[in-house]
A and B are shown apart, each in its own frame.
Chain A
Amino acid sequence: MANLLHIDFGDSDAVVGIDLGTTNSLVAWMNLTGPEIIEGPGEERIVHSVVAYTDAGEFAVGEAAREVLLTQPERAVYSVKRLMGQRADDIQGELKLFPFHLAPEQDAVLRLQLGEKTVTPSEVSAEVLKRLKANAEYATGKTVRQAVITVPAYFNDAQRQATRDAGRIAGLDVLRLVNEPTAASLAYGLDKRKEGVIAVYDLGGGTFDISILRLHNGIFEVLATNGDTHLGGDDIDNLLLAIALEDLASEWGEDVSAKHQIVQRLRRAVIRAKEELSFAPAVAIEFSHEGRSYRRALTREQFDQLIADFVEKTLEPCRRCLKDAGLDASEIDEVVMVGGSTRIPLVRLAVERLFRAKPHTELNPDEVVALGAAVQAGILTGSVEDKLLLDVTPLSLGIEVMGGVVAKLIHRNTTIPASASETFTTAVDGQQNVLIHVVQGERELVMDCRSLARFDLKNIDPLPAGLAKIEVRFLIDANGILNVTARDVRTGKEQSVEVKPSYGLTDAQVEAMIEESFEKAEADLQERQVREARVEADSILLALEKAKGNQAWDTLGEEDRERIDRKHNELLTVYHSDNYGLIRKKIDELNDSTMALAENMMNTAVNTALKGTKI
């Protein structure tokens, strides 16, 4: 049976690419011409990665959360990306510089206190993701269930898992975690040169990555990557902030460093000065509070001196990366700059000197990662066919052996997916369990590496020592996340493995958070259904408009035309109501009324086609 809604208006689902940044987050998708940033309802292209829990018991995200940060800093958090996949004891250094409020109860997952609410970094990030998802659904009129999310290339397993958990909590099926510098290279369209070696220098708000890639007919093969997941523009802000606080202490005779509200406003003032310095030779940090004012002139030269060590800290990973890629700096054909901090002239100069090439800065360094994530989404859904990314694991994977020494199984910069097998046996007669400790890192001793998880091989058949043979397979998937399976070599049966992650949430905890998040989402759901109903209404209204231009409309009986017009008016009347059930009812009625019209249209089309064959 023919009806207007059968006319195909494209996919109702959109797969988006998300740059979940330390300071800002963005969402993009592939439209018909290429990757495009999706704007929010107020045409904003970025969402500040700031989340607050308000007095009203709701989460605020972005600009609204920034306001809370100024008035009630104990209810808000920023730069939470620094905490992903960490435990409380890992971040003692960060606590001196960032106003993170830790909850009193801590375990394998870090917990933050926002007002009376206790949350994990994954839940905080999920709030940012939910906002981006809602923005994308609003702007595209499509449902967003699947996403590609970017992570720093140098993120370890726990940091990646925490990011994927955030996606799940936000109701997103994370199709792929893609490394930020590699995503950026996809967006840059450098494959047009077909052949060559490029370096991507990615200095963001809180993380630094360097990746070296070989391009070959649409293949993006990462040769090596390096970085620091706790180095970024934030650190420059902290340097400036420390100076300003010191000045205030001596000029105002008051130490305000414990007054979070003042510190937050001062922080904004130094960030403004830092950003202006990228374009002006001299600026001033200006700040006033309760009638007192503070002003400090800052020249580019002074600023460059202040950040010289910081910039140098990014060059060491670059040199290591070149060495791992087996290349000399002169063999790099092009350099791409990514991340807001690459606007700093000294950074550009240092990179230019190291690679002896003028870096690319044509694309907005804040947006290029999200655009690349959208391209990767296109690759995964099949709409982009000529490109393929072959990425690497940034850190070596090993197991603990006798004497607390690490035996490496998969070396850093190995192309992923990558796997390694190792056979284990028992040391004592009748032993039924073997515990395997897996670590990530480059050092020789377990204590210097990052504990990843303990895998317990359970229910091994009781045999004399050394007879049981369990083959364990370690597989790093295309997301850079480890999967472990085990097999009893004697029987060929799958061996059960219990995973005890050293960091991060268990599956059960994530499930619980998803559930809680869905209860909260009831209200959102109502809103979404209204929006979806309107999108559907738009479709049929558009179809009807087109149909009226068709000669089929003219051949339609007077009665049919009147009925359609009546139903058309009824739909327009309820269109702006919040009652999605009613909107849908009117859509159906209008659709039913157009049956004769749709049949006429098909006949006309057939007649036209037949005429065509005669001539």
Chain B
Amino acid sequence: MVKKKIAKVLAFRYKILAAILILLAGGLVLLPKYQKHEGIKPEELLSNTISPERYMTTDRLAHILINQDPSFILIDVRDEKSFASYTLPNAINIPLQKLFDEGSVSYLNQNQYDVVLFSNDNFYADQAWILCNRLGYKHLRVLKGGINEWFTTIINPVKPAENMSASDFELYTTRKAASMFFGVVYPEQVKAETPKVVKVAPKKVITIEKKKKAPAEGGC
């Protein structure tokens, strides 16, 4: 009896399979469609956003610019007018509105360079960073504080008060030196010219003394 029943069902096996096929294919058409999430997962985006690694300090950037590190691209996300009036050396202008234009994506979505985004503050640069990061673009950084911070730290560093620590003074001298590299001239730089000559003279004397010593040693 059981065998007969199975045989009866199996006689229709191809029809059953065909029905399953139609059902599955039809289900695909009838399923409610939803907007697919593009880019990286929200959790990943959040953890990337919280991470302080996405920021670059102005000191680090100055170091990169002075050493002419070829592995970095600077991207100015402000509008063309601000870009024309002032920008960082060798920066490329990609205004926030044109971030995903055909020409600009090749700068942002690549694996060759580290990209540093900046604006007046880090506000617009952050926006650009979030938009790009969500699409999974890698190697993007934001200049902490933007051009304003660049001005207050590198171009016009604040002289530390006398009661501040030695590291502050060291930082100040580095920043001052960096600002000189970017074309800032300090009054003491001009004044210091005459005493410098005086300083050079004794140095010469010392070298002469060394030279005198050198042949004596060689003679032994």
Verify that A and B bind, or say they do not: no
Q: Which residues of A contact B (CB under 8 A)?
A: none
